[in-house]
Structure 1
Amino acid sequence: MKQDNDPIEQLLVLHRDEVLREWLAEVAASSPSAGAAVGASAAADAAALLDAFVAGLRAGADAKRFDDIGWEPVRNTLETLSRARAARGSLAGETSHFVLALKKPLFSGLQQSPHTEPQHVLAAVWRVSTLVDRMAQFTMDTYQRSREEVIRRQQEELLELSTPVVKLWDGVLAVPMIGTLDSSRTQLVMESLLQRIVDTGSELAIIDITGVPTVDTLVAQHLLKTVTAIRLMGADCIISGVRPQIAQTIVHLGIDLQGISTKASLADALALAMKRVGYTVTKTKG
């Protein structure tokens, strides 16, 4: 494969600056918005990618297989470039266009090579075209993965923020639930609540479902699992925020909440919790 790469390597070694200049000019000319999006970092990105490209050619990497170990410097450079551009707000298409613009100076340089046979030029052009296409596709895949990672991280952060465990009083914790309950969220609530029970030595936990829009069989099962886990830790649980609609739904579904204290509001649940842990709340005369 080293011999097949020779014409491309010679072009990039002997005419690196020309290729780099034509590449950046092609980016700006064919898509001004993409050229503007990369800003002053375009030259540095292009130079780093060309250097990695030459390293792959010198290693004899197979131009037909972008997963060849010889192209690892190129893959690493593309991944860094793609993630950096995604963080700056560039679109996936802009990064892909940036890479594809490399074709024109490479094609032009290979065709003007005075020491290469026409059939070898054609073969080299085809290898370059295939390789650059795969490089562009790699940037798209990397961009997609990076965006998915950001979205997943944001979802996890929002999930944690939406299920805080609050200490209301000595021995009394509360978890205000907002939104739909699913398996992953219930698991997170359970883990956070059980850990806080251990950390604080609390005797009671209030699960407030005022912000839960609907309660179906699945949601009720998640609540029951959480209550069971709390009891296994030696604490007890009160469910608050049971509105008339939710109460009717629970009855119609035949869900058994016997043995679990329920209250219509968080205030009522807190009053019951205070009584259970031995506190008496009295109103002073104003």
Structure 2
Amino acid sequence: MAKVLDAVRKKQDTVLDGWLQGIKGGIRRRDLIDERELKSQAAEVLSTLCAAPPDASLDDPNITAWQPLRDLLATLSASRAVQGFTPSETALFVLSLKAPLFDIAREQKGESADQLYAEITAIGDFIDKLALHTTDSFIHGRDQVITRQQEEMLELSTPVVTLWDGIVALPLIGTLDSARTQVVMESLLQAIVQTNSRFAIIDITGVPTVDTLVAQHLLKTITAARLMGAECILSGIRPQIAQTIVHLGINLEDVITKAKLSDAFKLALNRSGRAVTRVAKVNVSPQSGAREL
């Protein structure tokens, strides 16, 4: 094994050229990576492979000697997950290294079939394990991207709107779960503090169903807002939701509820000592520009 690694170190440029030819002959995403970047990545991986200690064994890529190579492949896989590569394309990038390494092994062992078979088998197993490590790292990196996107979507799906001075509204759309409820609660409490609001309207017109779990989440949010000194009004109670709440025996006696957001807003205005009044309509003549009442 050590002789093969020594030969790879001496013929690093030849191995790199053979590796790149294998990549180009297989799956190659020209829309995601150009020639220069591909060569740079391959050269860095090959250089890290050659930088391993002389006594590094190919039997187990999980030993300490191969840690820098594993770390590099993990970083490369995570970046490719963000770029839009598939796990297969990322794994084939590593698997394409087999052919030039087999050529090196054949040059070293000559006509000794048994030794050549053992050498090629060891190299193949080593590269296969690296490819599996690359795939695992790719999936982990993609999962992190998906998790971050879900968190961002949660933040975007819970906007707190200032309706009036001291009155904020939180329109909810979609299903409420524990994770989203936490985001909803944090967003509402932050808005109450920032705007110094005394009234908070939680509108559930866009919530498809209200079960016991959703009701508990809403009650927790309302309780937290009350602790911050804001009075909560729950709006968007449709007939179907009202029937469901009664059927489930959910206690909302201490919660102010309204059928529509406009009704909740009107109530909040009244309780804050404000009122909306209708004014006389003003018409503007298009010819003279004079106003007519």
* TM-score > 0.5, shorter chain as reference: yes
What are the Cα deviations for residues 54-100 of structure 1, in whole angstroms up to 9, with x where unaligned? 11243x33423322221122112212322232233221111111211
2:171 paired residue number: 176
Does 2:62 correspond to 1:70? no
Give 1 or 2: higher helix fraction.
Answer: 1
Aligned to 1:243: 238
Runs (5+) with no aligned partner, structure 1: none
The aligned amino acid for 2:17 is R
What corresponds to 2:255 in structure 1? 260
Equivalent in the alignment of 1:142: 137
2:2–2:57 contact (8 Å) kept in structure 1 = no
What residue in structure 1 maps to residue 226 of structure 2?
A: 231
Shift of residue 28, structure 1, vs aligned partner: 2.3
Distance in 1 between the 2:196 and 2:109 partners? 83
Give the C-alpha shift of residue 52 in structure 1.
0.4
Cα deviation digits, residues 170-225 of structure 1 (max 9, x gap) = 11111100000111111111112112222222111100000001111111111111
- Secondary structure of 1:112's aligned partner: helix
- Residue 8 of structure 2 corresponds to which residue in structure 1? 12
Partners in 1 of 2:20 and 2:169 — Cα distance? 59
* Alignment partner of 1:166 out of 161, 170, 187: 161
Within 5 Å, which residues of 2 pair with 1:70-149? 70-113=65-108, 121-149=116-144
Question: 2:16 is matched by which residue type in structure 1?
Answer: L
The aligned counterpart of 1:44 is 40
CA contact (8 A) 1:240 1:265 kept: yes
Match of 1:104, as an amino acid?
Answer: A
Structure 1 residues 116, 68: closer, same or farther in 2, change over 3 A? farther
1:276 corresponds to which of 267, 271, 291: 271
1:241/1:264 contact within 8 Å kept: yes
The residue that corresponds to 1:34 in the other structure is 28
Distance 1:116 1:76, change over 3 A: farther
CA contact (8 A) 1:9 1:57 kept: no
Q: How far has the Cα of 1:123 moved from its partner?
A: 4.0
Distance 1:114 1:162 in 2: 64
Q: Aligned to 1:205, what secondary structure does the other structure show?
A: strand
In 2, Cα distance between equivalents of 1:163 and 1:130:
50
1:216 paired with 2:211, answer: yes
What is the deviation of 1:121? 4.4
2:185 matched residue in structure 1: 190
Whether the 8 Å CA contact 2:109–2:115 is kept in 1: the answer is no
Q: Does the CA-based 8 Å contact 2:98-2:127 persist in structure 1?
A: yes
**Contact between 2:19 and 2:99, CA under 8 Å: does it hold in 1?**
yes
Give the percent of matched residue pairs that are identical in Structure 1 and Structure 2: 49
- In the alignment, structure 2 segments of 5+ residues that lack a partner are 282-293
d(CA) in 2 for partners of 1:22, 1:48: 15
Q: Would the aligned equivalents of 2:105 and 2:120 in 1 still touch at CA under 8 Å? A: yes
Aligned to 2:196: 201
Maintained 8 Å contact 2:4/2:108: no
C-alpha distance in 2 between matches for 1:81 and 1:99: 11
Q: Which moved more, 1:60-69 or 1:142-151?
A: 60-69
Q: Distance in 1 between matches of 2:130 and 2:213?
A: 46
How many Å separate the matches in 1 of 2:134 and 2:244? Answer: 50
Q: TM-score scaled to structure 1, two decimals? A: 0.91
